Chain A
Amino acid sequence: MSPVLEPVVPLSARRRTVPRWLRRTTGPLLLLVLWQVCSATGVLPSDILASPGTIARTASDLLEDGTLPHAMLVSVQRVLIGLVLGGVIGVSLALVSGLSRLGEDLVDASVQMLRSIPWVGMIPLFIIWMGIGEAPKIALIALGVTFHLYLNVYAGIRGVDAQLIEAGTALGLGRWGLIRHVVLPGALPGAMTGLRYSLATAWLALVFGETINADDGIGFLLNRAREFFQTDVIVVCLIVYAALGLLADAIVRTLERLLLQWRPNFTGK
């Protein structure tokens, strides 16, 4: 009996006609329309949640009088400083424990222990230690970033194919050559994952840090709006947080595309 034959459909034949970005924006747009309709018909009163239209107007007002840009600048600065600080500490620790057994024995156990403390719970201690200025907020961000980067870079280093290390040795690479040409590039995918996690954590830490005590920044706007029941301002602040987070993610994605183009990985259908 001859088997049933089925055609192998060329990928181009079932290429989508709608561009990807359009397909991806349809869902959110529909939600937005639904929201506006609910607000306009009174199903959603404005003291519960302002309508998209009001929010857009508030946003443009805040942008024009300079409140929002200033707040954003302050907040972004906090994130950047915390990110750099936490990044340097996290990556250094990961290198120490990833590259040597001695380092692993000394560093890894301590980091793993400290990691089990929820970092948000450190806020009261940070306030006692550093007051309520910039320092505790930056420290909180740095702390969250440190752990994520440490874990992923360390795992990345230890995940490098031993066969490639062996090949590098056979090619005459010394210890530093191996680290530079084999271990670090091999750990890069892990490091990028760590970077993405730590960015998410950094924004979260920022929100926590700013809502608990702040006299500046987006969190400050948020707190003040809460006192005056300005749901529109609150939503604007949330959107700004989200937009900044998305922007950061887009930057990391671009970095990944540039730095990890050698990866033979599955990229989805």
Chain B
Amino acid sequence: MATELHRQVNPPEQRVNPPERDARPGEEGGSDDAAVRVRSLTRSFDGRAVIDDLHLDVRTGEFVALLGRSGCGKSTLLRVLAGLDREIEGEVLAPRRKAVAFQAPRLMPWKKVWRNVLLGLPGRPGRAVAERALKEVGLGHRVDAWPKTLSGGEAQRASLARALVREPDLLLLDEPFGALDALTRITAQQLVAELWQRRGCAVLLVTHDVEEALLLADRVLVMDGGVIAHQVRVDRDRPRDIADPLLAELRTELLGRLGVRAPEPAVNEVV
């Protein structure tokens, strides 16, 4: 399914002819079913470039996971794609219909959970819509609660439900499963996968969990030094099994890129 109407996020100058060069990681070439197209994006805070000449393409319907060390600029990139941060240089194209689940739940404290889920939806959707979405994330019993009474994981699931009801063309998820226990996490992952398959939307999932990235994504990106430093393609049918040797191999590769060495035989010695 093609995304409707691409909207440019504040382009200071249009780059009509990108200079000829080898494709970088993250860049896919100019296919016309792109859901995200980022060229030479730079975002600086107080003179420090957190994102530095970054290139990224995401095809319509593609599920992309984004890994990277804490503070490397993943959330910043997400906010730029969401159109929330416009103090940027470079070219950014993203669909109009986007949904974001932020790293912090960001529920409106003055609205009951179900009103939070419906907030900003076009038309006048009834409470039943919110109830269904909340039931899907296992919050059917907390529909009428105030956000202050939710546990950390519950708030995160409410925030996820709020993003999922929006039926977006681009779904931006910033560590949406961070506060969840193993079991709830799997359910939530399946929900995202379901929505992705049904809606055919592009997904950009920020996560710290390499296995989660490998189980869910078509492509896994590693962000470092303000750019997409590395990417691996995961050509495996779903549902995937983490015991799959290919995934294990990719996992080691990605962990290496993240600076984690393969565990050595344990030595009982304090360095």
Interface residues of A (CB under 8 A from B): 163-164, 166-173, 177, 181-182, 185-186, 188, 261-264
Contacts and interface: CB of A to CB of B under 8 A. Distances in A.
28 contacts: A163-B102, A163-B106, A164-B108, A166-B79, A166-B106, A167-B102, A167-B106, A168-B120, A170-B98, A170-B100, A170-B102, A171-B119, A171-B120, A171-B121, A171-B166, A172-B121, A172-B166, A173-B119, A173-B120, A185-B108, A186-B110, A262-B109, A262-B110, A262-B111, A262-B146, A262-B147, A263-B109, A264-B109
Interface residues of B, number: 23
B104 interface: yes
Nearest to B100: A170
B148 interface: yes
A169 B98 CA distance: 11
A263 B146 CA distance: 9
Interface string B93-115: 00000111010101011110000
B161 interface: no
B184 to A, nearest CB: 22
Contact of B148 (A166, A181, A185, A264): A264
Contacts of B100: 167, 170
A164 B84 contact: no
Given A181-B119, A264-B148, A170 B110 contact: no
B50 to A, nearest CB: 17
Given A167-B102, A261-B146, A172 B122 contact: yes
Contacts of A164: 106, 108
B152 to A, nearest CB: 13
A169 B84 contact: yes
B162 interface: yes
A257 B104 CA distance: 27
A168 B118 CA distance: 11
Nearest to B122: A172
Nearest to B105: A167
A90 B45 CA distance: 38
Nearest to A174: B120
A171 B116 CA distance: 10
B37 to A, nearest CB: 20
B106 A181 contact: no
Given A166-B84, A171-B162, A181 B108 contact: yes
A156 to B, nearest CB: 12
A181 B111 contact: yes
Contacts of A163: 102, 104, 106
